[in-house]
Structure 1
Amino acid sequence: MKSSSGLNGLEQNVNIELTILMPCLNEAETLAICIRKAKAFLVQTGIAGEVLIADNGSTDGSRAIAEAEGARVIPVATKGYGAALRGGISSASGTFVIMGDADDSYDFSSLMPFVERLRSGADIVMGNRFQGGIAPGAMPFLHRYLGNPVLSWIGRLFFKIKVGDFHCGLRGFNREKIRDLELRTTGMEFASEMLVRASLEGYEIAEVPTTLKKDGRSRPPHLRTWRDGWRHLTFLLMYSPKWLFIYPGLFLLVFGLVAAFALLPGTLRIDDVSFDVHTFIVACFSVLIGIQALSFAALAHRFADKNKLIPISGRHSRLLDWLTLERVLIGGGILFVLGAGGTGWCVAQWASVSFGPLVYASLLRVLLLSVTSMAIGLQLAFTAFLSAIIEIPTR
């Protein structure tokens, strides 16, 4: 495509293949060296490109430094790592974009492996610091041996993303493909959102080794270990209703049903251990929570489908279409009526002894099962109406 912005903001009628994008917030100590390395890479390889700085409100002169070094600078008012990158991607002129932090921890003079994989058709090319090498002191202990490995493992488990370094900040991508994803997060979880959304859309994701050295800043990094790690984890869970709701819900439901029906006739003894009405109570609660989790899964899928957050499989789409307001209300009504009938039977048994003392062994089991059935019936009805509310604008 034709670029209208070149170095120093001058008009340039050249085809821009690559934008080297750096988010920036008070990076005066290291910004110049990063820009020089990036420009040198473009000159040495003969790639038609630009260096773009997405400034997120620097107050240390970073913007003036970038302009003096010949980079194109765009201001991004919305605060946050993700917000800066979104603004940069939106303004990028290159067919491909390689993004990296402006703290001199990544080597912008060694980007050719990224370019080659992008040229060969990959939609996203991730750097892998564990394969390329991590210099002493470059990555905190908790990040290297706990946070990054665990979150990367969760990403591979939840979304089948075959990369070993889920949060590497040096990555390249096809600009239009990433724009099509309409990424929304503004914080550090932007890195996870890009990979997750790309994987769900079936994008080709490749990986190349890259090195990480200790950054050149004298101040602490913007990254906050526990806060940002928690935001990454919750993001992964929210984009995977299966692992957040469906699998736990199915486990609780099956466990509760098996335990409840095993204990319904009376006390169950296994070796020297006896399971009685107290375990029956736990089983009933397990069923109730399991149904609630599965209801949340249905709501989450419907909301995600409506707002185009994640693609929904044909099977899930057909199931959601079948679960109409009326059908769920009928199912919930049947469960409520059955539970009410069981509760009525218990009241009748109590009345038969003039509301005096009862033998609770069997009666309490029926009462617990009946009340649980009524609660599930009401819960399904509320879920059905909430689901219908989500669909109001398009019905």
Structure 2
Amino acid sequence: MPPLMAPSGEPRTAAPVLDVVVPVHDEEADLEQCVRRLDAHLATLPFSYRITIAENASTDGTLDVAQRLAAQLPGVTVRVETEPGRGRALNRAWAASDAAVLVYMDVDLSTDLNALLPLVAPLISGHSDLAIGTRLAGSSRVVRGAKREFISRSYNLLLR
């Protein structure tokens, strides 16, 4: 598998501490705003990072937006998957990553970005091997519309 490339076209020389993989499929409308927001947040953290956009067989202009972001933002790379499937995209992106800590995040950034550092800090320090965040924990505070809340809760109920 070819190495991840910096926007200059040169191979990246140092592995980042954190690789945030964002799988996307037909997210042309939201991708740029969300990745720029994520990049700005990660830039405030005290360790190196990469945002890997795992483009997942989109049929709209998602790939063009992703490639433009990678050219403009030094911490952003793009992986292209020709077969659809979020799990497949995550698996392949994580398998190819050289980062010490791997993170999955939805493109809509529905989780508060301020929750990221407390989640990954024990991983980075070596005190934990795995961390899982959930919006379904009793102590979680989720702000979303009534329609989305109903759909999410109904879906989770069906899965049980």
- Give ranges in structure 2 of 5+ residues lacking alignment: 71-75
Superposition pairs of residues 185-204 of structure 1, within 5 angstroms: none
Q: Show the 5 A alignment for 1:241-260.
A: none
* Shift in Å, 1:110: 4.6
Normalised to the residue count of structure 2, the TM-score between the two structures is: 0.78
Q: Sort the Cα spacing of 1:132 and 1:33 in 2 relative to 1 into closer, same or farther, 3 A.
A: farther
Question: Residues of 1 paired with 2:32 and 2:117: CA distance?
Answer: 21
| Partner secondary structure for residue 75 of structure 1 | strand
The 5 A counterparts of 1:1-395 are 4-8=3-7, 10-70=10-70, 71-108=76-113, 110-119=115-124, 120-130=126-136, 131-137=139-145, 139-141=148-150, 143-144=152-153, 147-148=155-156, 229=159
Counterpart-to-counterpart distance in 2, 1:134 and 1:44 = 23
* Shift in Å, 1:29: 1.6
2:51 alignment partner AA: V
Larger-gyration structure (1/2): 1
- Equivalent pair of 2:57/2:81 in contact (CA under 8 Å): yes
Normalised TM-score (structure 1):
0.34
Give 1:44's aligned amino acid: T
Alpha-carbon distance between aligned partners in 1 of 2:96 and 2:40, rounded to the nearest angstrom: 22
Distance 1:77 1:10, change over 3 A: same
Q: CA RMSD in A?
A: 2.4
What is the CA distance between 1:112 and its match in structure 2? 0.7
1:54 partner SS: strand
> Partner of 2:73 in structure 1?
none
Deviations 1:38-68 (A, max 9, x none): 2223321132111101111112211121222
Contact 2:111–2:135 (8 Å) recurs in 1: no
Structure 1 residues 137, 64: CA separation in 2 closer, same or farther (over 3 Å shift)? same
Q: Specify which structure has the bigger relative contact order, considering alpha-carbon pairs within 8 angstroms and separated by 6 or more residues.
A: 2
Relative distance call for 1:102 and 1:27 in structure 2 (3 A) is same
Q: Which has the higher strand share?
A: 2
Distance in 1 (alpha carbons) for counterparts of 2:26 and 2:10 = 25
Structure 1's unaligned 5+ residue stretches are: 151-225, 234-395
Q: Give the share of equivalent positions with the same residue, in percent.
A: 26
Equivalent AA in structure 2 for residue 45 of structure 1: L
Q: Is the contact between residue 16 and residue 49 of structure 1 (CA under 8 Å) also seen in structure 2?
A: yes
SS of 2:133's equivalent in the other structure is: strand
Cα deviation for residue 90 of structure 1 reads 1.8
In structure 2, do the counterparts of structure 1 residues 67 and 108 end up closer, same or farther at CA, with 3 Å as the change threshold?
farther
Q: Distance in 1 between matches of 2:10 and 2:25?
A: 24
